[in-house]
């Protein structure tokens, strides 16, 4: 490897003063082109009239989605710079949850302008520095446009969630899903820490069947599982006392390998009897505490329950849900306000949770278990998502996740900003004006980048089938006249005051879009070589 690389370098080393930059430019150009190809791939999915992509993965699975992060994740890119764009959308997903397409499209457009700057002979670091200054200034502009928000203003929250949902496959259900997302997030906000929302406290359960219309918010718990009633146990319990157990109601098993030696016929009967007694003893202990619902953690070492124990549990009218995953235990115990029980000896009443009703409901082709009316319920909530086929269901879940993230952003940073391309065009206008005050290289670069920001309204219009040049120029004009909230109304196909149309988004989404895109582009610009290593 080094030997082959050494040959051309050796010849260039003789002419000392000549700096060979050709190869470096090639690498940079290749990087930028690859990264822009990624951006172009997702460009058409931006905005309310954006199109969806169908992704067929290698194992024959098909996904239909409009979510930038998902599309990019499934695209198997190899080119390193293109990979960085995929990561960019992933970090936008982590930071804000929404705007994953926007950030990539924006980065692509910034790269395009960088390329023209580079070919004009500007040094890459100068471009990178200018971009950094631009992103700081852009955030200031956004802050200037922001509208403070009060969390009690539920309408405003619903509006911004609806804006995020409008661009998805499930947009026709946005009137249902948006309030649902808002309620879900608000119900998990801890009054002691009003700025922090942990989205893990919102559990999304998907169930095939019905339509997205049937999606509901459940105040309580939902398991995508059947009640184990092969032995005829109850499927509905009122005034439930719920125990979450991490042990197994089955014949004992030691950690050391063991074998029971049966030497004669009568012993077999005795062993069977002992097994029955053992299980009966456990069931009796459980019943003694008044428990009537058991949630049993999945065990890999042995069966969680056997037919025999199910039979006994059914006889004492205990409802059993088995195979609860270990990761879910924390969520369940938090919701039910109970403690997990790891040993039969510790089975005490004070570790139980209480609920008004535990029932099995049949939904579509499957069954679910619902626990409602939980006493002293923890700050958690469950959303049951329905859909007519798996593709819709998955997309509904992703869209709902985005909407939840949007609401979360608003809880974190209580500011709203107009949507519909208004912030981008305003940034572009103000930064363009600022560029005129600056001197030298910065001014030149910032002017170029300010124009690059217009890609968002441009794409929005283009995807909606509008005449993008007419729309963007009119938009620019309206902003120049001081209407900072003028944006593209895709439904009407014209420019309106976007705030009146209730198209709003969280400030955090916009700020993180611009800062993350700038950071990523700067990184790509600074690369001058790709080295293959082990």
Question: What part of residues 307-346 is at the interface with another protein (CB under 8 A)?
Answer: 329-330, 333, 339-343, 345-346
In eight-state DSSP terms, residue 249 is: B
194 touching another protein, by CB under 8 A: no
- Residue 101 annotated to the active site: yes
51 touching another protein, by CB under 8 A: no
Task: Give the shortest CB-146-to-another protein separation in angstroms.
Answer: 18
Catalytic residue among 335, 402, 511, 513: 402
CA atoms within a 13 Å half-sphere pointing along the CA-CB vector of 400: 31
Return the exposure string of 176-191: e unless at least 16 CB atoms fall within 10 Å of the residue's CB, then b.
bbbbbbbbbbbebbee
Task: Give the shortest CB-137-to-another protein separation in angstroms.
Answer: 13
Contact between 243 and 348 (Cβ < 8 Å): no
CA angle 333, 387, 54 (to 5 degrees): 115
Task: Give the shortest CB-452-to-another protein separation in angstroms.
Answer: 18
Binding mask 512-531 for another protein (x = CB under 8 A): x--xx--xx--x--xxxxxx
CA distance 199 to 84: 26
**Helix or strand or coil: residue 55?**
strand
Identity of the residue, 54 or 301, whose beta carbon is nearer to another protein in the bound complex: 301
261 touching another protein, by CB under 8 A: yes
Query: By CB under 8 A, which span of 32-40, 44-52, 372-380, 509-517 interacts with another protein?
Result: 509-517
Query: By CB under 8 A, which span of 50-58, 80-88, 219-227, 459-467 interacts with another protein?
Result: 80-88
In eight-state DSSP terms, residue 52 is: P
Nearest in space to 368 (alpha carbons), one of 356, 386, 350, 355: 386
Identity of the residue, 54 or 533, whose beta carbon is nearer to another protein in the bound complex: 533
487 touching another protein, by CB under 8 A: no
Binding residues for another protein, how many (CB under 8 A)? 79
User: Of these, 62, 120, 262, 480, which contacts another protein (CB under 8 A)?
Assistant: 262
**Helix or strand or coil: residue 294?**
strand
- Residue 402 annotated to the active site: yes
Identity of the residue, 74 or 83, whose beta carbon is nearer to another protein in the bound complex: 83
CA distance 81 to 77: 9
Contact between 19 and 25 (Cβ < 8 Å): no
Identity of the residue, 101 or 297, whose beta carbon is nearer to another protein in the bound complex: 297
User: Of these, 153, 278, 364, 372, which contacts another protein (CB under 8 A)?
Assistant: 278
Name 218's bridge partners.
382
Task: Give the shortest CB-70-to-another protein separation in angstroms.
Answer: 17
Identity of the residue, 332 or 471, whose beta carbon is nearer to another protein in the bound complex: 332
Task: Give the shortest CB-305-to-another protein separation in angstroms.
Answer: 16
Binding to another protein in span 340-379, by CB under 8 A: 340-343, 345-346
Tokens of 228: 């184990």
Binding to another protein in span 122-181, by CB under 8 A: 123-126, 129, 132
Query: By CB under 8 A, which span of 157-165, 270-278, 310-318, 484-492 interacts with another protein?
Result: 270-278
Task: Give the shortest CB-81-to-another protein separation in angstroms.
Answer: 7
- Alpha carbon separation from 150 to 137, 146, 194, 302, 415 (Å, rounded): 26, 13, 12, 52, 8
199 touching another protein, by CB under 8 A: yes
- Residue 442 annotated to the active site: no
Question: For the sheet containing 147-148, what is the strand order?
Answer: 147-148, 415-418, 504-506
- Residue 67 annotated to the active site: yes
Identity of the residue, 199 or 357, whose beta carbon is nearer to another protein in the bound complex: 199
């030497």: which residue's tokens? 263
Q: Is 226 exposed, middle or buried (0-12, 13-18, 19+ CB in 10 A)?
A: middle
CA distance 254 to 10: 70
CA angle 509, 515, 516 (to 5 degrees): 85
Binding to another protein in span 227-256, by CB under 8 A: 246-247, 251-256
Task: Give the shortest CB-366-to-another protein separation in angstroms.
Answer: 28
Catalytic residue among 67, 93, 183, 201: 67
Q: Which helix (H) or strand (E) holds 386?
A: strand 381-387
User: Of these, 271, 361, 433, 469, which contacts another protein (CB under 8 A)?
Assistant: 271
Query: By CB under 8 A, which span of 57-65, 119-127, 147-155, 156-164 interacts with another protein?
Result: 119-127
Identity of the residue, 54 or 261, whose beta carbon is nearer to another protein in the bound complex: 261
280 touching another protein, by CB under 8 A: no
Contact between 505 and 425 (Cβ < 8 Å): no
298 touching another protein, by CB under 8 A: no
Quickly list H helices, 146-212.
Answer: 154-166, 174-188
Catalytic residue among 44, 65, 70, 100: 100
Size (the chain), residues: 534
Tokens of 326: 């270990």
């599309």: which residue's tokens? 71
Q: Which residues are catalytic?
A: 67, 100-101, 402
């Amino acid at each position: 490897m080094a030997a082959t690389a050494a040959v051309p370098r050796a010849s260039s080393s003789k002419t000392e003063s000549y700096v060979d930059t050709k190869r470096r430019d090639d690498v940079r150009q290749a990087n930028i082109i690859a990264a822009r190809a990624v951006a172009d791939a997702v460009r058409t999915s931006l905005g309310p009239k954006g199109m969806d992509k169908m992704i067929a993965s290698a194992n024959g699975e098909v996904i239909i989605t409009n979510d930038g992060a998902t599309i990019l994740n499934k695209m198997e890119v190899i080119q390193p710079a293109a990979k960085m764009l995929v990561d960019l959308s992933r970090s936008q997903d982590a930071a804000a949850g929404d705007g994953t397409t926007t950030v990539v499209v924006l980065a692509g457009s910034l790269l395009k302008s960088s390329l023209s700057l580079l070919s004009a002979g500007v040094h890459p670091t100068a471009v990178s520095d200018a971009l950094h200054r631009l992103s700081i200034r852009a955030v200031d502009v956004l802050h200037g446009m922001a509208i403070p928000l009060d969390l009690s203003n539920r309408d405003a929250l619903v509006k911004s969630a609806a804006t995020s949902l409008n661009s998805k496959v499930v947009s026709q259900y946005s009137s249902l899903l948006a309030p649902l997302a808002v309620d879900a997030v608000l119900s998990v906000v801890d009054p002691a820490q009003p700025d922090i929302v942990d989205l893990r406290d919102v559990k999304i359960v998907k169930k095939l069947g019905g339509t997205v219309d049937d999606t509901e918010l459940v105040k309580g718990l939902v398991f995508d599982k059947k009640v184990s009633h092969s032995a005829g146990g109850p499927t509905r319990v009122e005034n439930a006392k719920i125990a979450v157990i991490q042990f197994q109601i089955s014949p004992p098993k030691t950690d050391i390998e063991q074998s029971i030696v049966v030497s004669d016929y009568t012993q077999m009967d005795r062993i069977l009897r002992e097994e029955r007694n053992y299980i009966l003893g456990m069931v009796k202990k459980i019943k003694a505490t008044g428990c009537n619902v058991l949630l049993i953690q999945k065990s890999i070492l042995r069966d969680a329950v056997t037919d025999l124990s199910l039979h006994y549990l059914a006889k004492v009218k205990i409802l059993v849900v088995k195979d609860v995953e270990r990761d879910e235990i924390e969520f369940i115990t938090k919701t039910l306000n109970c403690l997990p029980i790891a040993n039969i000896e510790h089975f005490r009443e004070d570790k139980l949770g209480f609920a008004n009703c535990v029932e099995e409901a049949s939904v579509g082709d499957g069954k679910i278990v619902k626990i409602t009316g939980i006493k002293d319920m923890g700050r958690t909530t469950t959303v049951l998502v329905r859909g007519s086929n798996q593709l819709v269901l998955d997309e509904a879940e992703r869209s709902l996740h985005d909407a939840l993230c949007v609401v979360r952003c608003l809880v974190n940073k209580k500011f709203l900003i107009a949507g519909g391309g208004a912030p981008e065009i305003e940034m572009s206008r103000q930064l363009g004006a600022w560029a005129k005050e600056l001197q030298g290289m910065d001014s030149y670069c910032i002017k170029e980048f300010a124009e690059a920001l217009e890609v968002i309204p441009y794409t929005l219009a283009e995807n909606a089938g509008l005449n993008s040049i007419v729309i963007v120029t009119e938009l620019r004009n309206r902003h120049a006249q001081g209407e900072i909230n003028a944006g593209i109304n895709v439904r009407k196909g014209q420019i309106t005051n976007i705030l009146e149309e209730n198209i709003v988004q969280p400030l955090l989404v916009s700020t993180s879009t611009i800062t993350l895109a700038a950071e990523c582009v700067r990184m790509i610009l600074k690369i001058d070589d790709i080295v293959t290593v082990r």
